[in-house]
Amino acid sequence: MNGWSGSIRLAPLPLPKLVEMATKLTANVKAGGCASKLSPKILDRALRSVPRVTNEKVLVGYDTADDAGVYDLTQIGGAPLAMVQTVDFFTPIVDDPYTFGAIAAANALSDIYAMGGKPVTALSLVVFPAKGNVEDLEAILKGGADKIHEAGCVILGGHSISDDEIKFGYAVTGLIDPQKILTNSGAKPGDVLVFTKRIGTGVISTALKKGIAETEHVNESIQQMLTLNREAAEALSGLTVHACTDVTGFGLLGHAREMALGSKVTLEIRASAIRYLPGAIEYSLAGAHSGGLNNNRDFVESCVEMDSGIPPEIEALLYDPQTSGGLLLSLPAQDAAQLAGAYVIGRVKDRGTKPLEVIA
């Protein structure tokens, strides 16, 4: 076993200029970021064969495909306390090593925020070529460490493996009050659906890999991916939130499907209400669609009643794998109105013919 232990603390480093770099991390991977994840159809089939073990301390398991697991640490007579655990790693979605490390960290932290937890510790997961540029590896680790520490979290160690395709991420542990857990399975008819970021990181990453992405579009996508969901999660304090999930590798409709099925409702999403990153629609129209996007569509589209008036390039973006994406929330309209920066993209209805309805 090759790994390390001990707390790593690095002085904050300035973000590099987000321009075209000499290092081309994305050139050596088949798919970048969350688009590199296993097809949801394959994963769903495999998980169905895994025996479910009942444990009264497990407050949230993987039965509803939630963002993280929650284990009750409360002792008899003690204050309520639970542990939130998640793991996430992927291939480079950008060419700059430092920025890739920071994005990977922001993405891994996101699952803790989506559950309403506070991240406290992290373990690094590193896959790097034995003959790779060590300076690239150093930059990846520094970028990740800076973002982890920005979250008030501490790195305890990690594990590394030599392989030709670079991959990086973290296993993150957080803490939460077991009475305040947010899950993806509590959406109620009458709620509105709110989203906190824009869509399009996947097609922009694919456009970058194809060499057709404009620098300003890549930079804006990067800035969004670098933004922690911490502020959005903290803004939920005091509000009535019935369901929450972060939108990542399975795309907006993939994660909305999990919420709809877990909550036994239908989610109505208005495509025209969704905000897209600059360039995303144009790149989708140009066919910058990853294998991950096609896998998501193949798995989810049978659950979707799609309005025939929605353009193909917009429909594709609804399946686009997002990296370090926003939070999708189900909550009463009066609570949603108090969320600065978030915007309404639909509503929750009684279960209809399909779990998801997309209207123009």
Tokens of 230: 């911490």
Helix, strand, or coil here: 26? helix
- Decide if 34 is catalytic: yes
pLDDT at 217: 98
Identity of the amino acid at 176: I
Residue 271 is classified by DSSP as G
Helix (H) or strand (E) holding 204: helix 201-210
Q: How far apart are CA 357 and CA 241, in angstroms?
A: 22
Burial of 301 (0-12, 13-18, 19+ CB in 10 A): middle
Looking at residue 22, its pLDDT comes to: 45
- pTM to 2 decimal places: 0.87
Which residues lie below 8 Å from residue 4, measured CB to CB, with a gap of 6+?
157, 158, 160
- Number of residues that make up the chain: 360
Which of the residues 34, 153, 244, 303 is marked catalytic?
34
Round to whole Å and give the CA distance between 40 and 128: 25
Q: Which pLDDT score, from 0 to 100, does residue 23 have?
A: 57
Q: Look at residue 54 in the predicted model and tell me its pLDDT.
A: 79
Query: Tokens 């193949």 — which residue?
Result: 298
Say what the pLDDT of residue 323 is: 97
pLDDT score recorded for residue 306: 98
**Selection from 193, 228, 195 nearest residue 341 by Cα:** 195
Domains and CATH numbers, the chain: 3-180 (3.30.1330.10), 192-359 (3.90.650.10)
- pLDDT for the residue numbered 27: 74
Q: 11 CB contacts (<8 Å, ≥6 apart)?
A: none
Residue 38's pLDDT is what?
Answer: 66
| Contact call for residues 280 and 200 (beta carbons, < 8 A) | yes
In 3D, which of 114, 229, 106 has the Cα closest to residue 169? 106
User: What pLDDT shows up at residue 15?
Assistant: 44
Which parts of the chain sit beneath pLDDT 70?
Answer: 1-23, 28, 30-38
Give the per-residue pLDDT at 16: 43
The pLDDT of residue 180 is: 96
Cβ neighbours of 340 (radius 10 Å)? 8
pLDDT, one tens digit per residue, over 8-28 is 333 333 444 443 444 578 876
